[in-house]
Structure formats: C-alpha cells, structure tokens
Chains A and B, each alone.
Chain A
C-alpha cells in the first residue's frame, strides 16, 4: 500500500474519532454528564424506591451516636435560592424538621439524597414535616443547577463557610488556616421542640426515606 493510502486511512480514522467525540460532547453538553440522571443511577445502586406503602410495620434504621442527640439543635438562619433568610426556628414552628447536609452539586452521590427526598416530599409534608437541605453551594450555583435539572420542592440553603455544618458535626475544619476540611453527609430529625431525635452521618448519603417517614409518623402518632 502506498503512503498516500495510509495517510487517507489515518485521516479517516481521525475524522471518525473527532466526530464521535463531538457527538458525545453535544449529547453531554458543556457541563458534563447529566447530574440528575447520574443521581437517579446512584439512587438505584443504593436500592432507593419511592415510598408507596404503609410504614407502620417498617423497622427504621436506628440513630447513630451523636453529641447532639437529645439536645436542642443548634439554631441557624441561612439563605435560600431566592435570597430569603430561613431561620430554623421558623421551620420548627410548623412541626418536625429534617435537616440534610449534602455535598452540593459536585457529583451524583453528593446530591442524590435530594432527588430522593424530592420524590417523597408529599409524604413528608403530609406528616407536617419540613425538609431543609444545606450545603456550601452558593445560591447562584444552586439556581443555575435548578435551571439545568429542575428545582427541589423544599428549601435548599447556602452555608458557604460550612459554619452550620461544623455545629452539626458534618464538617471538620482543617487544623491550620488554608488546610483542607473534611465533610460528611448528614441527616438529622428534629422534633417539634427542636430536639435532635435521630442522626446519621457518613461518607454516603442517607437515602432510606422510609426510616425518616416512620420516625415522623411515630412522632405524630406515638
């Protein structure tokens, strides 16, 4: 084969590869993979199913040990995506509160718990509970993600310096200024008096809404 033929073959290969990449780029978009789709896949991996049955016989996951357990939850006032200040105390006036510390829109598992809560939000609301999601994401970033993936049916609050996350033990600042801090996922159930009655922290999001709903149901009908 002549060198010209080889060059043609190579050029055709390059064109095909470039075309494939362009198609992939256009399909994924400039923001990378679809986070909502990836979060759905993450929930599937974790065995999440929307709640559609009676929970009276469900055995909830027990609380973990936590220094705040049984104590009044640290108060906070954070800003939601509309820039409105949201005091925890206001949410507690309406009943129990589920506080979720998530990792922001940075990866599928970071945000997957919020998608799971969104699917079951009517169940939480029917039990008089408020869900508050907190991350270090700025309101502008959350708003931008809402435009991409849709808004959640509960307030998503900004804790830019992780100050509230520190109070709830889901963020541990670095030892020295400039050091990296450690962040955990965290879910807390507060009763209507503002006491922490259930807590779960860890490297993964807590996606068992059945547990949270069962706890809320027992609070309502002890």
Chain B
C-alpha cells in the first residue's frame, strides 16, 4: 500500500478524511432537519446550494468509505476477522513455515499486508468484482449455512494467479522443471499445485 513520509499510509489519511467528511455531513443534515422541523423556508437559490451540500457531502463520505472498505477487504487482517481463517493467516507469520504461502510472505515475494488477496484474487478485467462475489459466498457459507467442515475453494486454483507474477520471469521459465510443462501450465491443463502441493498447513479434522 502507498506510504507517505514518516510511515503515514495514504489509506489511513483517506479513512480519517472520510470520517471527517462524515462528521461534517451529519452536522449539516442535523441542521437541515432542525430547519424543516421549525418550518423555516429559504429562497430558491439557497435551496439549491443546500441541496448541493446535502447531496455532495454524504456522497463523498460514502464513496470514500466504500473505497477504503474495498482496500481494507484486501488485507490479511480482514481475512483473519473470521475465526476459521486464523490457522491459515497465522501460519503465514511463522518464520519457520515451510509452506508455499509462508515462504512467499517470509521472503517478501508478496506484500505481507495483502498476502491472501494477492494469491486468491482474479486478475481478469472484472476480476476484483468476481473476487468479492466469491467472498460473498464465503460469508453466506459461514454465517447462513454455518459451515463447519473442511474448507475448500469454490473453484480450482487457477495457474493464471501464479503466472500473474511468475509468468515471464527468467528464473521461472528457465527452471528445468518448468521448461517441459510451460505450455501446459499456461493453458491450465496442468496445475501448479500438482508439484507445489504444500501451499497451506493441512487442515485439522472437523470436530
């Protein structure tokens, strides 16, 4: 995520900006509500100005809020807000972790703050939307269906996600193990996980 000087993150600035807009908007709305209750009338020009404020301030607040929320949904902390995800997320922080995911995080091959999203996002044109829709299915499964069993992905893991970063990298494409199967990896007929199977720690049996 974009950082400014002194470690202040842009996303935090926008978050507090959105909250400040929110406070300002609520004050304006409360003032307007009082005016209506007192039955005071304004000339048309003033009405239009007030409408601009009443519409623009809340719109800006909600738009900024939803933007920051979308960004926040990509963080590891967000994924960890479901307790079922704790073993997965905690394993990423294990310095001795030998799994593929832990190795990616420990060696900073992915941003540790957005590690889950980096490898589980859809990188197609409407990918971010599709990724969020899949996330909705997880929320449905967890809160409505009360799923407690083994956790599985809804769709098979796509090589395109790995190739988004590794594709075109010389040390990947010239690796002896990859040279022979590069085309199969690209057309998804052979999964990266066939060889790299230890992605996350094995799940404990459901109690």
Q: Do the two shown chains form a genuine complex with each other?
A: no
List chain A positions with a Cβ less than 8 A from chain B: none
List chain B positions with a Cβ less than 8 A from chain A: none
